[in-house]
Copies of this chain bind each other. A is one copy, B any other.
Protein backbone atom coordinates (compact mmCIF):
# COMPACT_ATOMS: atom_id res chain seq x y z
CA UNK A 1 0.00 0.00 0.00
CA UNK A 2 1.45 3.39 -0.96
CA UNK A 3 1.67 6.17 1.59
CA UNK A 4 -1.22 8.07 0.07
CA UNK A 5 -3.40 4.97 -0.01
CA UNK A 6 -2.58 4.34 3.63
CA UNK A 7 -3.61 7.89 4.43
CA UNK A 8 -6.96 7.44 2.62
CA UNK A 9 -7.67 4.23 4.46
CA UNK A 10 -6.91 5.90 7.78
CA UNK A 11 -9.14 8.86 6.94
CA UNK A 12 -12.14 6.83 5.89
CA UNK A 13 -11.90 4.16 8.53
CA UNK A 14 -12.87 0.60 7.83
CA UNK A 15 -14.98 0.55 4.70
CA UNK A 16 -16.14 -2.40 2.63
CA UNK A 17 -16.62 -2.49 -1.11
CA UNK A 18 -20.35 -1.85 -0.82
CA UNK A 19 -19.85 1.30 1.20
CA UNK A 20 -17.16 2.53 -1.20
CA UNK A 21 -19.70 1.98 -3.95
CA UNK A 22 -22.53 3.89 -2.28
CA UNK A 23 -20.19 6.77 -1.38
CA UNK A 24 -18.91 6.93 -4.93
CA UNK A 25 -22.42 6.98 -6.36
CA UNK A 26 -23.36 9.86 -4.06
CA UNK A 27 -20.16 11.72 -4.95
CA UNK A 28 -21.15 11.21 -8.60
CA UNK A 29 -24.48 12.89 -7.91
CA UNK A 30 -26.56 9.72 -7.91
CA UNK A 31 -29.07 10.32 -5.12
CA UNK A 32 -31.79 7.74 -5.63
CA UNK A 33 -31.54 3.96 -5.46
CA UNK A 34 -34.54 2.00 -6.68
CA UNK A 35 -34.14 -1.37 -5.08
CA UNK A 36 -35.39 -4.91 -4.94
CA UNK A 37 -32.53 -6.53 -3.05
CA UNK A 38 -31.72 -10.08 -2.01
CA UNK A 39 -29.13 -11.82 0.10
CA UNK A 40 -26.20 -10.93 -2.16
CA UNK A 41 -26.98 -7.22 -1.82
CA UNK A 42 -27.19 -7.03 1.98
CA UNK A 43 -23.90 -5.16 2.40
CA UNK A 44 -25.02 -2.54 -0.10
CA UNK A 45 -28.29 -2.17 1.79
CA UNK A 46 -26.68 -1.70 5.19
CA UNK A 47 -24.19 0.78 3.71
CA UNK A 48 -27.14 3.04 2.87
CA UNK A 49 -27.49 3.90 6.54
CA UNK A 50 -23.83 4.85 6.84
CA UNK A 51 -23.80 7.13 3.79
CA UNK A 52 -25.90 10.29 3.77
CA UNK A 53 -27.35 11.43 0.47
CA UNK A 54 -28.70 8.22 -1.05
CA UNK A 55 -32.46 7.66 -0.86
CA UNK A 56 -33.50 4.03 -1.21
CA UNK A 57 -36.96 3.28 -2.60
CA UNK A 58 -38.30 -0.25 -2.56
CA UNK A 59 -40.16 -1.81 -5.48
CA UNK A 60 -41.95 -5.13 -4.98
CA UNK A 61 -41.04 -6.25 -8.49
CA UNK A 62 -37.98 -5.42 -10.55
CA UNK A 63 -39.96 -4.05 -13.50
CA UNK A 64 -41.15 -1.32 -11.16
CA UNK A 65 -37.56 -0.60 -10.14
CA UNK A 66 -36.15 -0.28 -13.66
CA UNK A 67 -39.15 1.57 -15.09
CA UNK A 68 -39.05 4.05 -12.22
CA UNK A 69 -35.35 4.59 -12.89
CA UNK A 70 -36.35 5.39 -16.47
CA UNK A 71 -39.00 7.92 -15.41
CA UNK A 72 -36.63 9.49 -12.89
CA UNK A 73 -33.84 9.77 -15.45
CA UNK A 74 -36.11 11.43 -18.00
CA UNK A 75 -37.24 14.12 -15.57
CA UNK A 76 -34.11 14.54 -13.43
CA UNK A 77 -31.72 14.45 -16.37
CA UNK A 78 -29.34 12.26 -14.43
CA UNK A 79 -29.24 8.62 -13.48
CA UNK A 80 -30.79 6.80 -10.57
CA UNK A 81 -29.20 3.57 -9.46
CA UNK A 82 -31.10 0.32 -9.40
CA UNK A 83 -30.28 -2.53 -7.02
CA UNK A 84 -31.13 -5.96 -8.42
CA UNK A 85 -30.60 -9.57 -7.41
CA UNK A 86 -28.56 -11.77 -9.77
CA UNK A 87 -29.63 -12.85 -13.25
CA UNK A 88 -33.29 -13.63 -12.57
CA UNK A 89 -33.85 -10.39 -10.64
CA UNK A 90 -32.27 -8.45 -13.45
CA UNK A 91 -34.32 -10.54 -15.88
CA UNK A 92 -37.52 -9.21 -14.33
CA UNK A 93 -36.27 -5.68 -14.97
CA UNK A 94 -35.11 -6.14 -18.57
CA UNK A 95 -38.29 -5.04 -20.34
CA UNK A 96 -38.23 -1.60 -18.77
CA UNK A 97 -34.47 -1.34 -19.24
CA UNK A 98 -35.14 -2.01 -22.91
CA UNK A 99 -37.56 0.92 -22.87
CA UNK A 100 -34.99 3.14 -21.15
CA UNK A 101 -32.32 2.15 -23.65
CA UNK A 102 -34.60 3.09 -26.54
CA UNK A 103 -35.46 6.34 -24.79
CA UNK A 104 -31.81 7.29 -24.30
CA UNK A 105 -32.09 7.47 -20.52
CA UNK A 106 -29.13 7.17 -18.13
CA UNK A 107 -29.40 4.35 -15.59
CA UNK A 108 -26.77 2.71 -13.39
CA UNK A 109 -27.72 -0.85 -12.56
CA UNK A 110 -26.05 -2.48 -9.56
CA UNK A 111 -26.61 -6.20 -9.79
CA UNK A 112 -25.54 -8.46 -6.98
CA UNK A 113 -23.96 -11.79 -7.85
CA UNK A 114 -22.61 -14.75 -5.94
CA UNK A 115 -19.20 -14.31 -4.35
CA UNK A 116 -16.49 -14.83 -6.96
CA UNK A 117 -15.32 -18.09 -5.38
CA UNK A 118 -18.91 -19.40 -5.14
CA UNK A 119 -19.80 -19.03 -8.80
CA UNK A 120 -18.27 -22.34 -9.85
CA UNK A 121 -20.67 -24.39 -7.72
CA UNK A 122 -23.77 -23.89 -9.82
CA UNK A 123 -25.89 -22.99 -6.80
CA UNK A 124 -29.60 -22.45 -7.48
CA UNK A 125 -29.35 -18.78 -8.41
CA UNK A 126 -26.14 -19.14 -10.39
CA UNK A 127 -26.58 -17.71 -13.86
CA UNK A 128 -24.60 -15.78 -16.42
CA UNK A 129 -25.45 -12.34 -15.05
CA UNK A 130 -23.34 -10.67 -17.70
CA UNK A 131 -25.40 -12.32 -20.45
CA UNK A 132 -28.61 -11.05 -18.88
CA UNK A 133 -27.17 -7.55 -18.61
CA UNK A 134 -25.73 -7.44 -22.11
CA UNK A 135 -29.21 -7.73 -23.65
CA UNK A 136 -30.01 -4.12 -22.70
CA UNK A 137 -26.76 -2.51 -21.56
CA UNK A 138 -24.35 -0.23 -23.33
CA UNK A 139 -21.72 -1.33 -20.83
CA UNK A 140 -21.50 -4.33 -18.50
CA UNK A 141 -18.75 -4.94 -16.02
CA UNK A 142 -18.28 -7.33 -13.13
CA UNK A 143 -16.09 -6.04 -10.31
CA UNK A 144 -13.16 -8.33 -9.61
CA UNK A 145 -12.31 -7.32 -6.08
CA UNK A 146 -13.50 -4.97 -3.39
CA UNK A 147 -10.80 -2.36 -4.01
CA UNK A 148 -11.98 -2.02 -7.63
CA UNK A 149 -15.65 -1.42 -6.87
CA UNK A 150 -15.48 2.34 -6.29
CA UNK A 151 -13.59 3.04 -9.49
CA UNK A 152 -15.92 0.73 -11.41
CA UNK A 153 -18.88 2.68 -10.05
CA UNK A 154 -17.46 6.03 -11.09
CA UNK A 155 -16.96 4.61 -14.55
CA UNK A 156 -20.51 3.25 -14.62
CA UNK A 157 -21.92 6.68 -13.85
CA UNK A 158 -19.80 8.31 -16.51
CA UNK A 159 -20.94 5.77 -19.08
CA UNK A 160 -24.58 6.17 -18.06
CA UNK A 161 -24.27 9.94 -18.53
CA UNK A 162 -22.68 9.63 -21.95
CA UNK A 163 -25.16 11.26 -24.33
CA UNK A 164 -27.90 10.63 -25.07
CA UNK A 165 -28.01 8.56 -21.88
CA UNK A 166 -26.94 4.95 -21.57
CA UNK A 167 -27.53 1.82 -19.54
CA UNK A 168 -24.49 0.93 -17.43
CA UNK A 169 -24.63 -2.37 -15.56
CA UNK A 170 -22.17 -3.04 -12.77
CA UNK A 171 -22.19 -6.57 -11.40
CA UNK A 172 -21.20 -6.75 -7.75
CA UNK A 173 -20.11 -10.20 -6.56
CA UNK A 174 -20.95 -10.56 -2.86
CA UNK A 175 -17.33 -10.76 -1.74
CA UNK A 176 -16.43 -7.56 -3.57
CA UNK A 177 -19.19 -5.95 -1.49
CA UNK A 178 -18.13 -7.32 1.89
CA UNK A 179 -14.33 -7.34 1.60
CA UNK A 180 -12.36 -4.25 2.69
CA UNK A 181 -11.99 -1.46 0.18
CA UNK A 182 -9.86 1.65 0.20
CA UNK A 183 -12.53 4.30 -0.10
CA UNK A 184 -14.70 6.04 -2.62
CA UNK A 185 -13.46 7.00 -6.08
CA UNK A 186 -13.47 10.46 -7.53
CA UNK A 187 -16.34 11.35 -9.85
CA UNK A 188 -15.32 11.36 -13.49
CA UNK A 189 -16.22 14.23 -15.81
CA UNK A 190 -19.72 14.12 -17.24
CA UNK A 191 -19.34 13.72 -21.01
CA UNK A 192 -20.90 16.53 -23.00
CA UNK A 193 -22.81 15.90 -26.22
CA UNK A 194 -20.63 16.92 -29.16
CA UNK A 195 -21.82 19.66 -31.49
CA UNK A 196 -23.15 18.46 -34.83
CA UNK A 197 -20.65 19.10 -37.65
CA UNK A 198 -20.84 22.43 -39.49
CA UNK A 199 -21.76 20.74 -42.75
CA UNK A 200 -24.83 19.24 -41.10
CA UNK A 201 -25.96 22.65 -39.89
CA UNK A 202 -25.25 24.19 -43.30
CA UNK A 203 -27.16 21.45 -45.11
CA UNK A 204 -30.15 21.87 -42.83
CA UNK A 205 -30.16 25.64 -43.34
CA UNK A 206 -30.03 25.19 -47.13
CA UNK A 207 -32.87 22.70 -47.07
CA UNK A 208 -34.98 24.97 -44.88
CA UNK A 209 -34.38 27.86 -47.28
CA UNK A 210 -35.67 25.70 -50.12
CA UNK A 211 -38.94 25.13 -48.28
CA UNK A 212 -41.15 22.06 -47.85
CA UNK A 213 -38.93 20.83 -45.08
CA UNK A 214 -39.84 19.17 -41.84
CA UNK A 215 -37.81 18.69 -38.67
CA UNK A 216 -38.35 15.33 -36.95
CA UNK A 217 -37.15 15.47 -33.37
CA UNK A 218 -36.53 13.35 -30.31
CA UNK A 219 -34.68 13.80 -27.06
CA UNK A 220 -33.92 17.22 -25.54
CA UNK A 221 -34.99 18.91 -28.80
CA UNK A 222 -38.58 18.37 -27.67
CA UNK A 223 -38.54 20.55 -24.58
CA UNK A 224 -36.94 23.69 -23.18
CA UNK A 225 -34.41 25.56 -25.32
CA UNK A 226 -34.51 22.95 -28.06
CA UNK A 227 -38.20 23.31 -28.64
CA UNK A 228 -37.93 27.10 -28.55
CA UNK A 229 -35.23 27.03 -31.24
CA UNK A 230 -37.36 24.69 -33.32
CA UNK A 231 -40.23 27.13 -32.97
CA UNK A 232 -38.07 29.97 -34.28
CA UNK A 233 -36.99 27.84 -37.23
CA UNK A 234 -40.60 27.00 -38.06
CA UNK A 235 -41.64 30.64 -37.78
CA UNK A 236 -38.86 31.78 -40.06
CA UNK A 237 -39.03 29.04 -42.68
CA UNK A 238 -42.50 27.51 -42.55
CA UNK A 239 -40.93 24.13 -41.77
CA UNK A 240 -43.15 21.59 -40.07
CA UNK A 241 -42.11 20.31 -36.66
CA UNK A 242 -42.61 16.64 -35.95
CA UNK A 243 -41.95 14.11 -33.23
CA UNK A 244 -41.70 10.33 -33.20
CA UNK A 245 -44.93 8.49 -32.45
CA UNK A 246 -43.59 7.42 -29.05
CA UNK A 247 -41.27 10.13 -27.80
CA UNK A 248 -39.40 9.80 -24.50
CA UNK A 249 -40.41 13.30 -23.37
CA UNK A 250 -42.11 16.29 -24.94
CA UNK A 251 -43.26 19.65 -23.61
CA UNK A 252 -46.85 20.34 -24.62
CA UNK A 253 -49.86 22.48 -23.87
CA UNK A 254 -50.51 26.18 -23.71
CA UNK A 255 -47.62 28.44 -24.59
CA UNK A 256 -45.51 25.64 -26.00
CA UNK A 257 -44.46 25.31 -29.62
CA UNK A 258 -46.80 22.72 -31.14
CA UNK A 259 -45.26 19.63 -32.68
CA UNK A 260 -47.02 17.19 -34.98
CA UNK A 261 -46.90 13.53 -34.04
CA UNK A 262 -45.85 10.87 -36.52
CA UNK A 263 -48.80 8.53 -37.18
CA UNK A 264 -48.47 4.90 -36.11
CA UNK A 265 -49.56 3.18 -39.31
CA UNK A 266 -47.66 3.13 -42.60
CA UNK A 267 -50.53 4.44 -44.73
CA UNK A 268 -51.14 7.47 -42.54
CA UNK A 269 -47.46 8.11 -41.94
CA UNK A 270 -46.63 8.09 -45.62
CA UNK A 271 -49.55 10.45 -46.24
CA UNK A 272 -48.39 12.63 -43.37
CA UNK A 273 -44.99 13.02 -45.04
CA UNK A 274 -46.26 13.31 -48.59
CA UNK A 275 -45.50 17.03 -49.05
CA UNK A 276 -42.15 16.90 -47.32
CA UNK A 277 -39.19 17.32 -49.67
CA UNK A 278 -36.55 17.22 -46.95
CA UNK A 279 -36.87 15.51 -43.61
CA UNK A 280 -34.32 16.88 -41.15
CA UNK A 281 -33.53 14.55 -38.26
CA UNK A 282 -32.62 15.77 -34.80
CA UNK A 283 -31.81 13.03 -32.30
CA UNK A 284 -33.80 10.39 -34.11
CA UNK A 285 -33.87 8.20 -37.17
CA UNK A 286 -36.02 8.26 -40.28
CA UNK A 287 -39.45 6.90 -39.33
CA UNK A 288 -40.10 3.16 -39.64
CA UNK A 289 -42.97 0.86 -38.82
CA UNK A 290 -43.45 -0.19 -35.23
CA UNK A 291 -44.00 -3.66 -36.65
CA UNK A 292 -43.82 -5.09 -40.14
CA UNK A 293 -47.15 -5.68 -41.89
CA UNK A 294 -47.46 -7.84 -44.99
CA UNK A 295 -47.37 -5.75 -48.13
CA UNK A 296 -46.68 -2.49 -46.29
CA UNK A 297 -43.40 -0.60 -46.30
CA UNK A 298 -41.12 -0.71 -43.28
CA UNK A 299 -39.78 2.75 -44.13
CA UNK A 300 -42.28 5.60 -43.97
CA UNK A 301 -40.30 8.27 -45.82
CA UNK A 302 -41.93 8.66 -49.24
CA UNK A 303 -39.83 8.14 -52.37
CA UNK A 304 -38.28 11.46 -53.38
CA UNK A 305 -38.12 12.77 -49.85
CA UNK A 306 -34.54 13.52 -48.93
CA UNK A 307 -33.42 12.68 -45.40
CA UNK A 308 -30.79 14.85 -43.70
CA UNK A 309 -29.31 14.29 -40.28
CA UNK A 310 -28.81 17.54 -38.41
CA UNK A 311 -27.90 15.86 -35.12
CA UNK A 312 -27.49 12.21 -34.26
CA UNK A 313 -28.94 11.06 -30.94
CA UNK A 314 -25.57 11.35 -29.17
CA UNK A 315 -24.95 14.85 -30.54
CA UNK A 316 -26.20 18.12 -29.09
CA UNK A 317 -29.51 18.50 -30.87
CA UNK A 318 -30.44 21.60 -28.90
CA UNK A 319 -27.28 23.45 -29.89
CA UNK A 320 -27.72 22.30 -33.48
CA UNK A 321 -31.26 23.70 -33.59
CA UNK A 322 -30.02 26.96 -32.08
CA UNK A 323 -27.26 27.16 -34.67
CA UNK A 324 -29.78 26.62 -37.43
CA UNK A 325 -32.19 29.17 -35.94
CA UNK A 326 -29.37 31.73 -35.80
CA UNK A 327 -29.12 31.48 -39.59
CA UNK A 328 -32.63 32.96 -39.81
CA UNK A 329 -32.40 36.23 -37.89
CA UNK A 330 -35.26 38.67 -37.65
CA UNK A 331 -38.43 38.88 -35.67
CA UNK A 332 -40.66 35.99 -36.64
CA UNK A 333 -43.79 35.34 -34.64
CA UNK A 334 -43.35 31.90 -33.11
CA UNK A 335 -46.50 29.80 -33.13
CA UNK A 336 -47.56 28.66 -29.69
CA UNK A 337 -50.45 26.54 -28.55
CA UNK A 338 -53.26 28.67 -27.13
CA UNK A 339 -54.64 28.03 -23.67
CA UNK A 340 -58.01 26.59 -24.58
CA UNK A 341 -58.65 23.43 -22.56
CA UNK A 342 -61.33 21.21 -23.96
CA UNK A 343 -64.80 21.97 -22.62
CA UNK A 344 -66.15 19.34 -20.29
CA UNK A 345 -67.85 16.63 -22.29
CA UNK A 346 -71.57 16.13 -22.06
CA UNK A 347 -72.65 13.33 -19.75
CA UNK A 348 -73.26 9.88 -21.09
CA UNK A 349 -71.53 6.49 -21.13
CA UNK A 350 -67.80 7.07 -20.79
CA UNK A 351 -65.65 7.14 -23.94
CA UNK A 352 -61.94 7.64 -24.51
CA UNK A 353 -62.72 11.11 -25.87
CA UNK A 354 -64.50 12.03 -22.66
CA UNK A 355 -61.48 10.97 -20.65
CA UNK A 356 -59.02 13.00 -22.71
CA UNK A 357 -61.42 15.95 -22.67
CA UNK A 358 -61.70 15.95 -18.90
CA UNK A 359 -57.94 15.59 -18.54
CA UNK A 360 -57.47 18.54 -20.87
CA UNK A 361 -59.98 20.57 -18.88
CA UNK A 362 -58.65 19.87 -15.40
CA UNK A 363 -54.93 19.27 -15.84
CA UNK A 364 -52.99 21.61 -13.53
CA UNK A 365 -50.00 23.63 -14.74
CA UNK A 366 -46.69 21.80 -15.10
CA UNK A 367 -48.16 18.37 -14.67
CA UNK A 368 -46.35 15.31 -16.00
CA UNK A 369 -48.54 13.04 -18.11
CA UNK A 370 -47.32 9.48 -18.62
CA UNK A 371 -49.15 7.89 -21.52
CA UNK A 372 -49.38 4.13 -21.90
CA UNK A 373 -53.05 4.25 -22.80
CA UNK A 374 -52.33 2.68 -26.22
CA UNK A 375 -55.72 2.46 -27.99
CA UNK A 376 -57.17 4.67 -25.25
CA UNK A 377 -55.67 7.75 -26.87
CA UNK A 378 -55.15 6.59 -30.46
CA UNK A 379 -56.19 9.50 -32.66
CA UNK A 380 -56.78 11.75 -29.67
CA UNK A 381 -53.34 13.28 -29.29
CA UNK A 382 -54.64 16.71 -30.28
CA UNK A 383 -57.01 16.84 -27.31
CA UNK A 384 -54.13 17.74 -25.00
CA UNK A 385 -52.68 20.39 -27.31
CA UNK A 386 -54.27 23.40 -25.64
CA UNK A 387 -54.44 22.38 -22.02
CA UNK A 388 -52.21 23.88 -19.31
CA UNK A 389 -48.51 23.36 -20.06
CA UNK A 390 -47.23 19.89 -19.18
CA UNK A 391 -44.56 17.32 -19.98
CA UNK A 392 -45.57 14.07 -21.62
CA UNK A 393 -43.63 10.82 -21.25
CA UNK A 394 -44.30 7.93 -23.63
CA UNK A 395 -42.89 4.42 -24.06
CA UNK A 396 -40.44 4.57 -26.97
CA UNK A 397 -39.28 0.98 -26.52
CA UNK A 398 -42.71 -0.52 -26.93
CA UNK A 399 -42.24 -2.98 -24.06
CA UNK A 400 -45.58 -3.23 -22.30
CA UNK A 401 -45.70 -2.24 -18.64
CA UNK A 402 -43.75 1.00 -18.83
CA UNK A 403 -46.46 3.40 -17.74
CA UNK A 404 -47.00 3.08 -14.01
CA UNK A 405 -43.29 2.62 -13.21
CA UNK A 406 -42.43 5.69 -15.34
CA UNK A 407 -44.94 7.71 -13.37
CA UNK A 408 -43.46 6.45 -10.12
CA UNK A 409 -39.98 7.59 -11.13
CA UNK A 410 -41.17 10.92 -12.51
CA UNK A 411 -42.92 11.65 -9.22
CA UNK A 412 -39.75 10.81 -7.31
CA UNK A 413 -37.83 13.25 -9.51
CA UNK A 414 -40.42 16.03 -9.34
CA UNK A 415 -42.21 15.85 -5.98
CA UNK A 416 -43.89 19.24 -6.51
CA UNK A 417 -45.55 18.38 -9.81
CA UNK A 418 -48.76 16.45 -10.34
CA UNK A 419 -48.23 13.21 -12.26
CA UNK A 420 -51.06 11.70 -14.28
CA UNK A 421 -50.77 8.20 -15.73
CA UNK A 422 -52.99 7.35 -18.69
CA UNK A 423 -52.82 3.60 -18.44
CA UNK A 424 -54.35 0.84 -20.55
CA UNK A 425 -55.71 -1.98 -18.39
CA UNK A 426 -53.86 -4.77 -20.18
CA UNK A 427 -50.49 -3.03 -20.00
CA UNK A 428 -51.11 -1.97 -16.44
CA UNK A 429 -51.21 -5.57 -15.26
CA UNK A 430 -47.52 -6.15 -16.08
CA UNK A 431 -46.26 -3.78 -13.40
CA UNK A 432 -49.24 -3.07 -11.16
CA UNK A 433 -46.95 -3.42 -8.14
CA UNK A 434 -45.95 0.20 -8.91
CA UNK A 435 -49.01 1.32 -6.97
CA UNK A 436 -47.56 0.02 -3.72
CA UNK A 437 -44.41 2.11 -4.12
CA UNK A 438 -46.59 5.12 -4.93
CA UNK A 439 -48.49 4.51 -1.71
CA UNK A 440 -45.40 3.97 0.45
CA UNK A 441 -43.65 7.08 -0.87
CA UNK A 442 -46.91 9.09 -0.89
CA UNK A 443 -46.26 10.10 -4.49
CA UNK A 444 -48.61 12.59 -6.10
CA UNK A 445 -49.70 10.30 -8.92
CA UNK A 446 -53.20 9.92 -10.32
CA UNK A 447 -53.56 6.75 -12.37
CA UNK A 448 -56.37 6.59 -14.92
CA UNK A 449 -57.05 3.02 -16.00
CA UNK A 450 -58.68 2.80 -19.44
CA UNK A 451 -60.69 -0.31 -18.60
CA UNK A 452 -61.84 -1.67 -21.93
CA UNK A 453 -61.35 -5.22 -20.66
CA UNK A 454 -59.34 -6.24 -23.70
CA UNK A 455 -55.99 -6.23 -25.40
CA UNK A 456 -57.79 -3.90 -27.79
CA UNK A 457 -54.70 -3.09 -29.81
CA UNK A 458 -54.29 -6.75 -30.71
CA UNK A 459 -57.85 -6.98 -31.97
CA UNK A 460 -56.96 -4.09 -34.28
CA UNK A 461 -53.63 -5.65 -35.18
CA UNK A 462 -55.28 -8.91 -36.27
CA UNK A 463 -56.53 -7.03 -39.29
CA UNK A 464 -53.31 -5.08 -39.70
CA UNK A 465 -51.19 -8.17 -40.14
CA UNK A 466 -53.80 -9.97 -42.21
CA UNK A 467 -54.21 -12.82 -39.77
CA UNK A 468 -57.97 -13.03 -40.28
CA UNK A 469 -60.78 -12.41 -37.84
CA UNK A 470 -59.83 -14.98 -35.28
CA UNK A 471 -62.00 -17.78 -33.94
CA UNK A 472 -63.00 -18.27 -30.31
CA UNK A 473 -59.57 -19.46 -29.18
CA UNK A 474 -57.83 -16.49 -30.77
CA UNK A 475 -60.35 -14.01 -29.42
CA UNK A 476 -59.98 -15.43 -25.91
CA UNK A 477 -56.33 -14.37 -26.07
CA UNK A 478 -57.38 -10.70 -26.38
CA UNK A 479 -60.20 -10.73 -23.86
CA UNK A 480 -59.43 -9.45 -20.37
CA UNK A 481 -62.94 -10.14 -19.20
CA UNK A 482 -63.96 -13.53 -17.81
CA UNK A 483 -63.30 -12.49 -15.14
CA UNK A 484 -63.17 -8.71 -15.27
CA UNK A 485 -60.28 -7.15 -13.45
CA UNK A 486 -61.43 -5.02 -10.53
CA UNK A 487 -58.89 -2.22 -10.50
CA UNK A 488 -60.43 -0.57 -7.46
CA UNK A 489 -59.67 -3.64 -5.39
CA UNK A 490 -56.25 -4.11 -6.96
CA UNK A 491 -55.39 -0.52 -6.14
CA UNK A 492 -56.77 -0.56 -2.62
CA UNK A 493 -54.99 -3.87 -2.11
CA UNK A 494 -51.75 -1.93 -2.48
CA UNK A 495 -52.84 1.02 -0.37
CA UNK A 496 -53.90 3.43 -3.12
CA UNK A 497 -57.36 5.03 -2.84
CA UNK A 498 -59.47 4.23 -5.89
CA UNK A 499 -62.86 4.64 -7.49
CA UNK A 500 -64.67 3.31 -10.54
CA UNK A 501 -66.60 5.46 -13.02
CA UNK A 502 -68.40 4.66 -16.24
CA UNK A 503 -69.95 8.00 -17.23
CA UNK A 504 -68.42 11.14 -18.66
CA UNK A 505 -69.62 13.21 -15.72
CA UNK A 506 -68.45 10.66 -13.22
CA UNK A 507 -65.00 10.63 -14.71
CA UNK A 508 -64.76 14.41 -14.90
CA UNK A 509 -65.75 14.73 -11.25
CA UNK A 510 -63.36 12.04 -10.08
CA UNK A 511 -60.50 13.45 -12.10
CA UNK A 512 -61.14 17.00 -10.92
CA UNK A 513 -61.15 15.81 -7.33
CA UNK A 514 -57.89 13.95 -7.87
CA UNK A 515 -56.29 17.08 -9.34
CA UNK A 516 -57.29 19.09 -6.26
CA UNK A 517 -55.94 16.52 -3.80
CA UNK A 518 -52.41 15.31 -3.25
CA UNK A 519 -51.12 11.77 -3.02
CA UNK A 520 -51.66 8.61 -5.00
CA UNK A 521 -55.08 7.61 -6.25
CA UNK A 522 -56.53 5.57 -9.08
CA UNK A 523 -59.59 5.97 -11.26
CA UNK A 524 -60.87 2.90 -13.05
CA UNK A 525 -62.48 4.40 -16.13
CA UNK A 526 -64.76 1.78 -17.64
CA UNK A 527 -65.09 2.54 -21.34
- Shortest distance from the beta carbon of A74 to any chain B beta carbon, whole Å: 16
The answer to whether B468 and A46 touch across the interface, beta carbons within 8 angstroms, is yes
Query: For the complex, what is the distance from the CA of A95 to the CA of B458, rounded to whole Å?
Result: 26
Q: Tell me whether A344 is interfacial, beta carbon within 8 Å.
A: no
Known: A56-B476, A292-B118. A42 touches B461 (CB 8 A): yes
> Which of chain B's residues has its CB closest to A121's CB?
B288
The answer to whether B91 and A98 touch across the interface, beta carbons within 8 angstroms, is yes
Select which of B56, B462, B464, B483 is within 8 A of A439 by beta carbon. B483
Q: Tell me whether A272 is interfacial, beta carbon within 8 Å.
A: no
Select which of B115, B121, B461 is within 8 A of A39 by beta carbon. B461
- Shortest distance from the beta carbon of A82 to any chain B beta carbon, whole Å: 13
The answer to whether B48 and A473 touch across the interface, beta carbons within 8 angstroms, is yes
Known: A37-B458, A484-B495. A48 touches B474 (CB 8 A): yes
Q: Tell me whether A335 is interfacial, beta carbon within 8 Å.
A: no
A95 contact set on B, CB distance < 8 A = 88-89, 91-92
The answer to whether B493 and A46 touch across the interface, beta carbons within 8 angstroms, is no
Interface stretch, picked from A131-139, A190-198, A318-326, A508-516, is: A131-139
The answer to whether A465 and B174 touch across the interface, beta carbons within 8 angstroms, is yes
Chain A 443-494 residues near chain B, CB threshold 8 A: 457-458, 461-462, 464-474, 476-477, 480, 482-490, 492-494
A238 contact set on B, CB distance < 8 A = none
The answer to whether A483 and B458 touch across the interface, beta carbons within 8 angstroms, is no
A486 contact set on B, CB distance < 8 A = 492-495
> Which of chain B's residues has its CB closest to A299's CB?
B121
- Using CB atoms and an 8 Å cutoff, list the residues of chain A in contact with chain B: 35, 37-40, 42-43, 45-46, 48-50, 56, 58, 60-61, 63, 85, 87-89, 91-92, 94-95, 98-99, 102, 114-115, 117-118, 121-125, 127-128, 131-132, 134-136, 174-175, 178, 246, 285, 288-292, 294, 298-299, 396-401, 426, 429-430, 432-433, 436, 439-440, 457-458, 461-462, 464-474, 476-477, 480, 482-490, 492-495
